[in-house]
């Protein structure tokens, strides 16, 4: 809708059922992967920000699908279960840095491939479901989802004109220590 303002777009998307959104492709991809995975094999869905769709997280949880997904937005948390933190980035800011590592930041049309040093933090949080309206509210679950966050924030200075790396990764996988957190960041960065 060309003349639609930001607030109108948000409200329209809140009313639209997931099956009518472009992001439904992530649920379809998860279902397809499940159908074509041989017994005994484990699949981990690696997704960029487009894959950060609440219904996708619910579906993965329901079918025991594992994932590492870069967060698209700073989701609202259930504060009573997150030591008072109201948003994901706030929970990560309060976490202790486990260590640093180097990651390769792939180039694209606007930037060259480069190496960045990032600090790694981990937090276990409970996400509140997003606001839904109309048909979308009827079709969407209102369940909270508990996930682990892996934060990778650039500690070195990025090249002039480039933003510092600040990734928030959502995962259902265990992240008990620095090595496990590094593994998730490496998976995402490749």
Please write the tens of the pLDDT for every residue from 151-180. Answer: 999 998 898 888 899 999 999 999 999 999
- With respect to residue 1, please indicate whether it lies within any of the assigned structural domains: no
DSSP E strands: which ranges in 37-95? 44-47, 66-70
Domain of residue 130, residue span: 6-189
How many CB atoms lie under 10 A from the CB of residue 4? 11
How much is the pLDDT for 18?
59
pLDDT interval class at 136 (50, 70, 90): very low
First to last CA, the chain: 35
- Note the pLDDT tens digit of each residue in 76-112: 998 777 677 899 999 999 999 999 999 998 888 888 8
CATH of the domain at 78: 3.90.350.10
> Contact at 8 Å (CB) between 101 and 83?
no
Count up the domains in the chain and report the number: 1
Spatial distance between the Cα atoms of 9 and 123, rounded to a whole number of angstroms: 32
C-alpha R_g of the chain: 18
């Amino acid at each position: 809708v060309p003349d639609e303002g930001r607030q109108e777009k948000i409200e329209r998307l809140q009313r639209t059922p997931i099956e009518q959104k472009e992001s439904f492709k992530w649920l379809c991809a998860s279902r397809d992967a499940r159908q074509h995975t041989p017994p005994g094999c484990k699949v981990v869905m690696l997704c960029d920000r487009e894959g950060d769709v609440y219904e996708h997280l619910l579906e993965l949880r329901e079918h025991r699908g594992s994932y590492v997904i870069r967060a698209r937005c700073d989701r609202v948390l259930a504060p009573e279960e997150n030591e008072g933190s109201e948003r994901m980035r706030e929970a990560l800011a309060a976490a202790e840095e486990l260590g640093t590592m180097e990651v390769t930041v792939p180039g694209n049309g606007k930037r060259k491939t480069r190496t960045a040093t990032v600090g790694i933090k981990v937090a276990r949080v409970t996400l509140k479901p997003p606001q839904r309206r109309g048909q979308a509210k009827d079709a969407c679950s209102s369940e909270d989802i508990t996930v682990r966050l892996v934060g990778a924030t650039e500690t070195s200075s990025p090249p002039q004109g480039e933003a510092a790396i600040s990734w928030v990764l959502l995962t259902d996988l265990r992240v008990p220590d620095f090595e496990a957190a590094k593994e998730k960041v490496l998976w995402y960065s490749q």
